[in-house]
Amino acid sequence: MSVNGQSAPGPKEPTRAATPPAAKGTGTPAAGSGTDLAAGAAAGPAASQLPQVRRAVIVGGNRIPFARTGGAYTKSSNQDMLTAALDGLIARFGLQDERIGEVAAGAVLKHSRDFNLTREAVLGSALSAETPAYDLQQACATGLETVLGLANKIKLGQIDSAIAGGVDSASDAPIAVSEGLREVLLDLNRAKTLPQRLQVLSRLRPKDLTPDAPNTGEPRTGLSMGEHQALTTAQWKITREAQDELAFNSHRNLAAAYDAGFFDDLLTPYRGLTRDSNLRADTSLEKLATLKPVFGKSLGSAATMTAGNSTPLTDGASTVLLASEEWADAHDLPKLATVVDGEAAAVDFVHGKDGLLMAPAFAVPRLLARNGLSLEDIDFFEIHEAFAGTVLSTLAAWEDEEFGRTRLGLDGAFGSIDRTRLNVHGSSLAAGHPFAATGGRIVASLAKMLHAKDRVDGRPARGLISICAAGGQGVVAILEAH
Amino acid sequence: MTDKYTQFVSRAPGRDIARKLGLPQPVVLRRHKPGQPLITEPVLVQGTGTGADELAATLLAWDLDVRRHAVPKEKLGAIILVLDELARPEDLARPVLTAATSLRDLAPNARVITVSRAASDSADPAAAAARQGVDGLVRSLAKELRAGATANGILLAGGAGTTSPSTLGALRFFLSGRSAFVDGQFLTVSSAEGQLPADAEKPLAGKVAVVTGAARGIGAAIARTLRRDGATVVVVDIPAAGDHLAAVANEVHGTALQLDITREDAGERIIEHAVERHGRLDIVIHNAGITRDKLLANMDQSRWDSVIAVNIAAQLRINEALLASEHFRNSPRIVSVASTSGIAGNRGQTNYAASKGGVMGMVRATAPLLGVHGGSINAVAPGFIETEMTAKIPFATREIARRLNSLQQGGKPGDVAEAIVFLASDAAGGVSGEVLRVCGQNLVGA
């Protein structure tokens, strides 16, 4: 596993700088693959041949407070939490017995019995039982991907309303039997006679009885997400101080948002919890500085990632109500923001070409180029804080001339962002990160912020969401004030 | 849920044991259920004037079994004593003593209702004496009645007559199971305003109502009753109670608004939510309240301030916003929850009683301001109500508090809700600035 995956030009290195996109569309196919920005931009003119699409608006959202694993929601299942988040949304917007076009949600840590998790949650909620639902899973990008997929259906006129969401419980995580025991049990079921059964049972070994618990390790590298990020953090020379400062701002901003009542119409308490239990309103840079590194210890003095600047395992659920403008109007519901566009990217972290969580560094430039935008055109940045190092590595990559030229195919650095626009009401370091629920948390909060900001220089306020995910993936999106 | 003792004494052998030992004998009260007739047994209308005749004719039109003279041994559902022409105290004797001969024929859960004129409206000492006499009469009679029967009075003031809309509205309320826990009380009808509903089952059809403190207890019961009577309901409570609030909202098919009512802009937020989501705002129920009990000698600033802030200051501020809003001009109705503590006082509740006394003062002074728009504002003062809060009172204290009223039992949150929802209806439009107690005629401070 190499730490300098970014520096080695890959086989798909673009040969020229990206040309400005010719059309601003919402459905332009992202041609090419991997990190090829030029190919995506070149496909721009095809947009004019796309059918007319209508707007998909964000009406609002609801989530339950996020709880540190082993805390308030220890005994709550994914279905319990998703149902609670749905019911809060239904209560806020008066959706009782409403047949919603479609509900999509998912969980990263999922029991096999929960194959129809979202539909079961719908059936347990106050929605009409005639509301269809499906499960989706794209690791930590699950929540954002449900928003994008459902928004696209609304844009195409396939549905008029939708609820996107996500839920995760690391407390109530599935534990599977070992592969050995599983094979024996399945063969036992197929065996017809007593001698056959005994023969199958004789294959059982004591080690087969050890259960198979889930872990956050990447199957292809065996490294945990934190260890992966530690390599990336070190590669981009992100300091401990910078990470601690980002974590401190996250706690401070989230606490201020709670105090200002920002979450009064975004959150419904659950199981006695009224705020995210990971939030430390009284934390300080000094306190954060005392924590010992927990990831990248093999790096010695370069180890900078602590429990303070990494997100803890968290339980929680979130939902977002999406609609066509007509549906929202007919139901006298607010229209906070529109879902403009989204983009997914993936990196080859397995061979060390890029860091595990660096896909958004490629997805964002592609998305902005397709929409004829630059970083200066964004009023709010919501960059998911898987680790403080993830956010800072991504920003460092964008500010890096070499990265811009060789990996993004630009003339120079992609650019830097105005830090005062970054995660202004806190993010995952403070709120916690129940994997699939993070997308919904961010979309609903950003939509509310954009609605409040309304317009900037005569155009709708604009926000960018960036979420990294396991498997070297990333999903990003642009929202605009309605 | 009826308390266990009431269940025990409501049938043999518990009934016999209680009777022999001279223990309280509460009965299961008749409470309103949708589709239920107003009253099943015959109604005796006593009184000889034109007011009585007109009233009897109206009751006949309601398909009630009306009697102008008692039939011996016939069980009666109600006696309506029309005393609107009293001129001197001596005038009481004949109608009252005639009615007295029928008291033993009252069915369980029967009603005695007087209709008389308000003493405050008369400058003539003899007439005022006669009118005020009705007050003492009804309150004493209420204490004599048994088996869930109640006695209440309607006072006519201003331009109100025996068949004014709100006189009839109040009469329907007192006759029905909606007034189960209202006993020994008077309701003043001060104008000919108001309108009886087209559909008695859905008196609030088309109305949009907001109720604060709706996450649990009495507030949740108010939300359910508003919904049952046809209103679209917005339920409000502090964000920390949002999970219970969401459950209530989903139950009543309304919308949940998580809002701290002590916020400066709470009134504007309530109006905005109701108008944007539901197109209008007709009814606001100020139910949210807190207790921070302490003897005054041990009282601290925060206990005092928080109770005043939530229980009365917030209501005043919200009312200011409502009165200033062009969206609250079409027969607007406000009902506040006061408390018998605010009337009779309660040890350890100086702060609470001050706030609830404040509610009653506020209601009286706000009535003319809302009257300009054909609106009304009233308060309901609950006595001992069986809620999660009173369930925490130690057993012996609770048992005494619960039995110390004429009905010998605690009320239900729904009983308070019924009174509030009645006062929020157009049928009560001629009632304003009043306080109605829902206390089963609490013996303390009555």
Return the pLDDT at B404: 83
Whether B200 is in a domain gets the answer no
> Would the pLDDT of A11 be above 60?
no
3-class SS at A12? Answer: coil
Identify whether B195 is part of a domain: no
- Asked if residue B443 belongs to a domain, the reply is no
Whether B345 and B247 map to the same domain: the answer is: yes
Beta bridge partners of B284: B210, B334
Which chain A residue has its CA at the smallest distance from B240's CA? Answer: A274
Residues of B in contact with A96 (CB under 8 A): 249-250, 253
Q: Are B169 and B113 in contact (CB under 8 A)?
A: no
How far apart CA A254 and CA A244 sit, in angstroms, is 15
The answer to whether residue A461 scores a pLDDT higher than 50 is: yes
Contacts B240 to A, Cβ<8 Å? 269, 274
Residue B196 lies in a domain: no
A238 close to A364: Cβ distance less than 8 angstroms: no
| Contact assessment for residue A366 and residue A345, using Cβ atoms and an 8 Å cutoff | yes
Q: Using the predicted structure, report yes or no on whether residue A43 has a pLDDT greater than 70.
A: no
| B253–A94 C-beta distance less than 8 A | yes
- The number of beta carbons lying within 10 Å of the beta carbon of residue B3 is 15
- Inter-chain touch B277–A84, beta carbons under 8 Å: no
Share the mean pLDDT of chain A: 88
Helix (H) or strand (E) run with residue A244 in it: helix A240-259
Tell me how close the Cα of B278 comes to any Cα of chain A, in angstroms: 7
Taking CA atoms, what residue in A is nearest to B278? Answer: A332
Spell out the alpha helix ranges (H) of A371-434.
388-399, 401-406, 428-431
Cβ atoms of B292 and B351 closer than 8 Å:
yes
Give the pLDDT band of residue A50 (cuts 50, 70, 90): low
The whole-number pLDDT of residue B356 equals 92
Residues B375, B351: one domain? Answer: yes
Q: Are residues B103 and B154 in the same domain?
A: yes
**CA–CA distance, A5 with A14 (Å, rounded to integer):** 17
Within 10 angstroms of residue A210's Cβ, the number of other Cβ atoms is 11
**Collapsed DSSP state (helix, strand, coil) of residue A127:** coil
- Nearest CA-CA partner of A385 in A480, A290, A254, A218: A254
Average pLDDT of the residues in A173-202:
83
Share of chain A above pLDDT 90, in %: 72
Output the pLDDT for position A15: 39
Confidence label for A343 from pLDDT (cuts 50, 70 and 90): very high
Active-site residue list of B: 352
**Closest partner residue to A268 among B243, B253, B260, by Cβ?**
B243
Q: What are phi and psi of A152, to 5 degrees?
A: -60, -40
Residue B300's CB: how many other CB atoms inside 10 A?
9
Nearest Cα neighbor of B193 from B378, B422, B374 is B374
Q: Which residues of B touch A270 (CB under 8 A)?
A: 243
How many angstroms separate the CA of residue B313 from the nearest CA in chain A? 20
Is A329 an interface residue toward B (CB < 8 Å)? no
Is A140 a catalytic site residue? yes
Contacts of range B304-307, beta carbons closer than 8 Å, 24 or more positions apart: B304/B351, B307/B351, B307/B352, B307/B354, B307/B355
Domain boundary residue among B160, B189, B218? B189
CB-nearest to A332 from B249, B254, B278 is B278
Interface of A with B in 63-102 (CB under 8 A): 84, 87-88, 90-94, 96-97
Q: Do B3 and B35 reside in the same domain of the chain?
A: no
Nearest residue of B to residue A333, measured between CA atoms: B277
Tell which of B210, B235, B255, B269 to mutate to test the A interface (max A CBs under 10 Å): B255
- Residue-level pLDDT at A418: 95
- Contact in structure between B258 and B242 (CB atoms under 8 Å): yes
How many domains does chain B contain in total? 3
Per DSSP, chain B holds a count of helices (H) and strands (E) of 15, 13
Q: Which residue, chain included where needed, has tokens 């009512």?
A: B261
Q: Which of A384, A425, A451, A468 is catalytic?
A: A468
Write down the pLDDT at residue A47: 47
| Residues B60, B104 within the same domain | yes
Residues 6+ positions from B90 with CB-CB distance below 8 Å:
none
In this structure, the answer to whether residues B135 and B257 fall within a common structural domain is: no
A21, pLDDT greater than 50: no
Nearest chain A CA: its distance from B249 CA (Å): 5
Q: Which residues have C-beta within 8 Å of that of residue A123, sequence separation ≥ 6?
A: A129
Identified catalytic residue from A228, A384, A425, A433: A433
B226 touches chain A (CB under 8 A): no
Confidence of residue A127 (pLDDT cuts 50, 70, 90): very high
Tokens standing for B73? Answer: 């041994």
Residues 6+ positions from A133 with CB-CB distance below 8 Å: A102, A103, A104, A105, A116, A118, A119, A121, A122
Nearest C-alpha in B relative to A81? B243
Question: Are B180 and B276 members of one domain?
Answer: no
Residues A41-63, mean pLDDT to the nearest whole number? 72
- A120 vs B: CB within 8 A: no
Q: Is residue B202 part of a domain?
A: no
Assess if residue B413 is contained within a domain: yes
Contact partners, residue B321, CB within 8 Å, separation at least 6: B266, B267, B268, B270, B271
The answer to whether residue A29 scores a pLDDT higher than 50 is: no
A266 touches chain B (CB under 8 A): no
Chain A interface includes B373 (CB < 8 A): no
Q: Are residues B179 and B215 in the same domain?
A: no
Asked if A333 has any chain B CB less than 8 Å from its own CB, the reply is yes
Token pair for B443: 């013996």
Is any Cβ of chain A less than 8 angstroms from the Cβ of B289?
no
DSSP state of B309: I
Mean pLDDT of each 10-residue bin along chain B, 446 residues long: 72 72 77 89 88 88 87 89 91 91 91 92 90 93 90 92 92 94 94 89 95 95 97 96 96 96 95 96 95 89 94 96 94 93 84 93 95 94 85 80 84 95 95 93 65
Q: Would the pLDDT of A112 be above 70? A: yes
**CATH number (domain holding residue B213):** 3.40.50.720
In-domain check, residue B427: yes
Counting beta carbons within 10 angstroms of the beta carbon of residue B20, is it exposed (0 to 12), middle (13 to 18) or buried (19 or more)?
exposed
ipTM over 0.95 threshold: no
**Count of CA atoms in the C-beta half-sphere (13 A) of A390:** 30
Sign of torsion, CA A55 A60 A64 A66? positive
Q: Is residue B201 part of a domain?
A: no
Residues B156 and B262 in one domain: no
Rounded to the nearest angstrom, the gap between the alpha carbon of residue B209 and the centroid of all alpha carbons in its chain is 18
Inspect the interface and report whether the beta carbons of B249 and A261 lie closer than 8 Å: no
Provide, as residue numbers in chain B, all residues whose Cβ is less than 8 Å from the Cβ of A333. 277
pLDDT for the residue A9: 40
| Same domain? B70 vs B100 | yes
Q: Among the residues of B230-299, which ranges form H helices?
A: 242-251, 266-278
Rg value, chain B, Cα: 21
Residues B397 and B262 in one domain: yes
Q: Which of A133-147, A196-210, B320-334, B412-426 is predicted with the least confidence, judged by mean pLDDT?
A: A196-210
**Is residue B265 within 8 angstroms of chain A, CB to CB?**
no
Residue among A96, A267, A270 minimizing CB distance to B253: A96
Q: Which of A268, A335, A451 to mutate to test the interface with B (most CBs of B within 10 A)?
A: A268
Place of tokens 């039992």: B409
Range of the domain at B46: 31-189
Distances from the Cα of B347 to the Cα of B195, B270, B275, angstroms: 41, 35, 42
Write the DSSP symbol of residue B28: P
B337 shares a domain with B278 = yes
Please compute the mean of the pLDDT values over residues A1-30 and round it to a whole number: 40
Residues 125-144 of B with CB under 8 A from A: none
Task: Tell me which residue in A94, A97, A274 faces B240 most closely, judged by beta carbons.
Answer: A274
pTM as predicted: 0.86
Name which of A91, A263, A269 is nearest B250 (Cβ-Cβ).
A91
